[in-house]
Amino acid sequence: MFTKSLKYLIIAFLISTHKSIPIVSYAFRFYYHVITGLLASRFKYNSTKLNSFGFNSPEDLFKWSTLHSRVSPLEVDMYLHKSNSTYFLDLDIARTKLLTRLFQKFWWIYFDNEKGIKGRKKGSISNFPYAPVATVSCHFKRELKPFEKFAISSRILAWDKKWLFVVSKFTTNNGKTINAIALTKYVFKTGRLSIAPIEYITDCNFASLENDKINEKNINLVNHMIDTEDLEKLVEI
């Protein structure tokens, strides 16, 4: 009887800690969102040139993308709440979900070399741009307890001639409680060349005068290092 109970406890523990398995878990979660965000849409994109998630107009640029998760026991620190360092792993996955879906058309444009970049063949994996993170800052507000459910919602905040800024919020209680706020600075690259944000924003039909006005306001927050209270008001929109 004891052996059977122990077996069930071990199985339950492994299930509850699946997101914390070193290397394997991160890679699986990352590529799951890359595949569902890009590959699943390939045939629809070829026939319609439209985003399969419905992000096809300027009004869609600042929409939130949400990832749901739960605090794994292996993420808990000595204070019995989610360790600060683990927030950044979850942010990676949440931002991957946002960028692959929102800029879905952009990735395929480069894959098919629709820009006519010299020396590149259509349909080569090496054509895909990549988006390295330059900086991430996170403001921790309220703890997340073991096994507690939470959501990470991310959206585009602003951009300049080179950088794209993504704001994310960790929430509980169906979005009513903000537990943490993060700001990520990205640069999109193809080979050694940086791609200006306005280029992929335009490629995906998101460019508009109204979005330019929103960006002008938000980039001023970024340029002034962003006061945390102002950032909190921003994510409550």
Residue whose C-alpha is closest to residue 131's, from 157, 90, 101, 100? 100
Collect all residues with Cβ–Cβ distance below 8 Å to 60 and sequence separation of at least 6: 54, 102, 206
Q: How confident is the model at residue 16 (pLDDT cuts 50, 70, 90)?
A: low
What integer best gives the mean pLDDT of the chain?
A: 87
pLDDT of 71 reads 93
DSSP type of residue 119: T
The strand pairing partners of 136, in sequence order, are 184
Q: What pLDDT is stored for residue 103 in this prediction?
A: 96
CB 208 within 8 Å of CB 58: yes
pLDDT of residue 41: 73
Q: pLDDT at position 225, please?
A: 57
The tokens describing 209, both together, are: 């005068």
- Percentage of residues in the chain having pLDDT higher than 90: 60
Confidence of residue 194 (pLDDT cuts 50, 70, 90): very high
Domain boundaries, the chain: 2-235
What's the Cα-to-Cα distance from 184 to each of 77, 110, 134, 167, rounded to whole Å? 24, 23, 8, 6
Indicate if the pLDDT at residue 47 is higher than 90.
no
Nearest 5°: the CA angle 18, 20, 26 is 95
Confidence of residue 160 (pLDDT cuts 50, 70, 90): very high
- Please tell me the pTM assigned to this model: 0.86
Fold of 2-235: Thiol Ester Dehydrase; Chain A (3.10.129)
- For residue 178, the cross-strand partners are 171
Say how far apart CA 121 and CA 117 lie, in whole Å: 9
Give the per-residue pLDDT at 21.
Answer: 65
Confidence of residue 118 (pLDDT cuts 50, 70, 90): confident
Q: Which of 8-17, 163-172, 205-214 has the lowest mean pLDDT?
A: 8-17
Q: What is the DSSP string of 1-26?
A: -HHHHHHHHHHHHHHHTGGGSTTHHH
